[in-house]
Structure 1
């Protein structure tokens, strides 16, 4: 009967390129390794490897067996990992918040789908929450994890905030605005424009970041007569009530009457962070770590 150990030994020999190197890595005698492979070949009734003093070669049967064996070992490893998650309590609902400026793009949606496949006992309850209030919601047990637009102003002793990825900033204007004739602009050139989103003295997030960029150019953003810190600001912009500096991903949810202008590279990035409890449950902690790991490829200006 073929054993998992024989699968592993065979794959290790092929990957190492020799019996001797595989034996060293597996901490077994080379003679014992050779015996296991011989027994494996007897079971499958096919020659899998040919060898001489210097190297090994896969036979045609060995190539098929190696490909399938690696797949089987990967499946076993994934099964053990998922079983461990469930055994450690990784089953239930995770309440995930995201700020209105952290758009759930197709790439983030695909990422969440992959994570749910990795955590078969987990369901997600996704809702919106302001970047500044998410930490309090998580600390007080109303949510488990949050996707925020940094910076946030308040610090919470029981909350950890980790940077996930950067995203470029763009200027959203109405297609009826004179600015719509341009493809790019600068922060300084927006001095006389009315902004449909300005910061609150007790709120961080995107509007706080934008105000900092404007202050660096010597002015505070002038408030439009209609304001919003939510995605509804895009509707105000379409109505030509003002402009806003927003993440590039908001193009995906913008109404057709909104035009976007590029900004210079040196001022055009914003950071999305993950908010999580410092002492999270096994399920939440494992999901948060996987989320950080999976989002690493998004760490580029146009995420």
Structure 2
């Protein structure tokens, strides 16, 4: 019966180039190596090595057996590492949702790259979903954790919400808009403007927040005749088809033809949170804990 020890000894002898050096590397007696190789060749009924007093050479059969055996041993080592990672909750795929208003900025990319270095057995699968829908997807097991724009209106007992950072809101409009030369603007000044992202007071996320801001100033935002979700709305704004109130981070992905105006501080606050199941697996819980630790403003688990 061929043993794993014999395979390891065989590869080490070939790599070292002699029985003497292989014995030193393996901390075994040279006679033990010779005995194991003789048993291996006897069981296989083929000569694998040609020996002399100074070195060893592979036979033609030995060359084939060496290449295959080395690959097998490497696969076994990889399997051991992966099994260890799985056992410790460090191996697997994490399904990440993010709202279209939570852009994967360069700063956020740096954080995820840092995490992937810390968790070499983890891969990430990103998808976009509205903030209000993410909690349901995670609660029902279709995703593992999400990045949402608060507030989340519908509550799920098994869903944990942790604020990760606050972000300013700004008004995005075309360079050809009549307000384009301003640097600041008030919510009340938008009373007669048309919004390309339709706010909704019952939808949660940024949509709810924008509707609430406008209602504080005694109006509900008017929908433009051309509307869109967060990513392509920037193209509609550039075409001067309407305006939007958006997170400041969207400036990173905005076309050149868009201007961003500052809002008064009391109207310019938005919070982003991470959401996940309270009974998340050790791998996911560990990844999220590390994510929160890298976010200076985050509430710690």
Q: Distance in 2 between matches of 1:281 and 1:92?
A: 11
Q: Distance in 1 between matches of 2:151 and 2:292?
A: 18
TM-score by length of 1: 0.69
Task: Decide whether aligned partners of structure 1 residues 220 and 235 sit closer, same or farther in structure 2, where only a CA change above 3 A counts.
Answer: same
- Corresponding residue for 1:180? 180
User: How far 1:198 sits from its partner (Å)?
Assistant: 2.2
Q: Which runs of 5+ in 2 are unaligned?
A: 1-81
Question: In the alignment, does 2:119 pair up with 1:104?
Answer: no
Contact 1:207-1:229 at 8 Å conserved across structures: no
Q: Distance in 2 between matches of 1:289 and 1:277?
A: 13
Q: Distance in 2 between matches of 1:231 and 1:178?
A: 23
The within-5 A match list for 1:135-284 is 135-200=135-200, 202-284=202-284
- Corresponding residue for 2:16? none
Number of matched residues?
Answer: 218
Q: Distance in 2 between matches of 1:221 and 1:85?
A: 51
Moved over 3 A (4+): 82-87
User: How far 1:256 sits from its partner (Å)?
Assistant: 1.4
Q: Which structure: larger Rg?
A: 2
Contact 2:201-2:207 at 8 Å conserved across structures: no
User: How far 1:231 sits from its partner (Å)?
Assistant: 1.3
Question: In the alignment, does 2:284 pair up with 1:290?
Answer: no
Q: Distance in 2 between matches of 1:95 and 1:229?
A: 22
Q: Distance in 2 between matches of 1:84 and 1:236?
A: 51
Q: Distance in 2 between matches of 1:273 and 1:142?
A: 19
Q: Distance in 1 between matches of 2:257 and 2:191?
A: 23
User: How far 1:86 sits from its partner (Å)?
Assistant: 4.8
TM-score by length of 2: 0.69
Contact 1:102-1:272 at 8 Å conserved across structures: yes
Q: CA RMSD in A?
A: 1.9
SS of residue paired to 1:180: coil
Residues 227-281 of structure 1 show CA distances to partners (whole Å, capped at 9, x for unaligned) of 1232111111111111000000001111111111011112111000001001100
Q: Distance in 2 between matches of 1:91 and 1:165?
A: 28
